[in-house]
Structure 1
Amino acid sequence: MWFIDKNSPHQWISHRIKKKVVSVRTPFQHVEILDTPEFGRMVILDGLIQSSESDECIYHEILVHPAMIAHPRPKHILILGAGEGATLREVLRHSTVERAIMIDIDREFVDLCKRFLRKWHRGSFRDARSVLIFEDAFSYLQKTADRFDVIIADISDPADTGPARFIYTSKFYSLISRALKPGGIFVTHATAVHYAPRRNYSHVILTQLRRIFPEVSVSYEFIPSFASLWSFATGSFTCRPQQVPAERIRRRLRRRGIAGLSYYSPETHRRLFIIPPCLRKNMPAGRGDV
């Protein structure tokens, strides 16, 4: 058996399936959990690879730690999406965290992750600091009175239909900005980034972010299971994570008791934000550029 990852009309990548662990349609999406020889266990939503056992640490550590480290004392964290629990896992490494609220629309998917993705969440759902709410992220932001030091969005890629169609818009980012405390930081994955201009949604996401946040910073890394360069973006009114000195990063990692990371480090932090000219020229310009 093979799973075919249809990256584009012109590029399909085949992955041999050792075992089909789960294949089910929830009220919101088609969920597959597969075991593969190359990447170990993989999570696939609506035919798109979301995460793999072998390299999820790259994605989740980059998504979480640059923003969390840039904040001097992140206590209250909001996670939008991230049903596997790996984003929550990385957030809870920071000893400063007092409460981490995770919002996900798909209870059935989260239950599957709790059961079959233990290497991802590592028991983070049971941490006393974590709160799990099953609700649409847009609706939650519209009505919440809570304010957060860091907000992390790990929601499905943009789509023309379904709940995700409201997520990557200036209205959504405006709601996020309202939910941030003074000095707060927002971070989101920003999909694949390409050498060709406007090939996909990364350009759109960055454009919408710049309409709301004065400071927008872009980082990127190659994710092997995605077979693509993947971008991440932070939005803030005051903070630029790429300017945090290496020694301050080391000090904050040490004081927060963070050790044993697989990918993120002070050296990695700096490199993530160095965007080559061939990529930068296809990104929308803004005041937050490096």
Structure 2
Amino acid sequence: MRITGRRRNMILFILLGVCLVGVAIALNVGWVVLNWRRLAPLALGIPFFILLIVGLVLNTIFLVREVRRNERHDSFINAVTHELKTPITSIRLYLETLQRRQVSEETREEFYRTMLADSDRLLATVEQVLKAGEVGQRSRSQIRIAVDMHALTEECVRTAITRYHLDPASITLHSEGPARPLVVRGDPDDLQTALMNLLGNAVKYSPEKLEAQVSLRLEHDTWVRISVTDQGIGIPPAHLRRIFRRFYRVPTRSVLRTKGTGLGLFLVRTIARQHGGDAFAESAGEGRGATVGLQLPRLLVQTANKEKR
């Protein structure tokens, strides 16, 4: 495994911190041995050395975290650059072909379809980056109305099937609604963004064949729980809590081969928390699929009816 310059610096910071802590401990022990009969130097020296050691440890932790954060930021820049450059290059190539060569009407229509798909991909990447910056700068969504999660989830499933050109049977929806009202208070656009990211992740990380189950149910009569389960590449247990961080991508070959910006699940968790809920992820390990979703506080039907009036 090749050690990058930044990782080499991180190892150097850790070693330097350990050495400095060792030196501080040695000085502390020496100070105690030399002044064990004098109370005043001991009373002043021991707290000072403890603060020194704590400062060195905190400084080392801070430096390591900064190095890791910069690594994730660089990975994000590379991923976004690739996500933007690839469709632009593709669209340019097809346009140059149409400009320089005479092609049949059938080929022309195929080129148009491909360019539209590439432009949709380009627009989705730009919107995701802009949305991440928007939701990250606010604590709570300002526009809050009653949102029927059953209807919204059905709409998102239909949109995903159309957007990713899927077989309708590849995504199945299991819902307790509309028999039991599943209503939350929130921003419909933000909630749609979160659901589309969940569905997009299932598609993205099921490279062979998509078999996704979308579950929408009521939990303890107070929470609306939406989850998307796939049979894709899975998530190592050690990374289940980290995948919701900004720019974070699981460092496995199967994941890194898949295109992405590391913002999708960050958006899901941020939107869920802004609506008083949270996101969750479950997986039995690599190659064994995953379940990712969010839960939101339920809005009582009586309250929702009053708001509509």
TM-score between the two structures when normalised by the length of structure 2: 0.22
- Structure whose CA Rg is larger: 2
TM-score between the two structures when normalised by the length of structure 1: 0.23
More strand by share: 1
More helix by share: 2
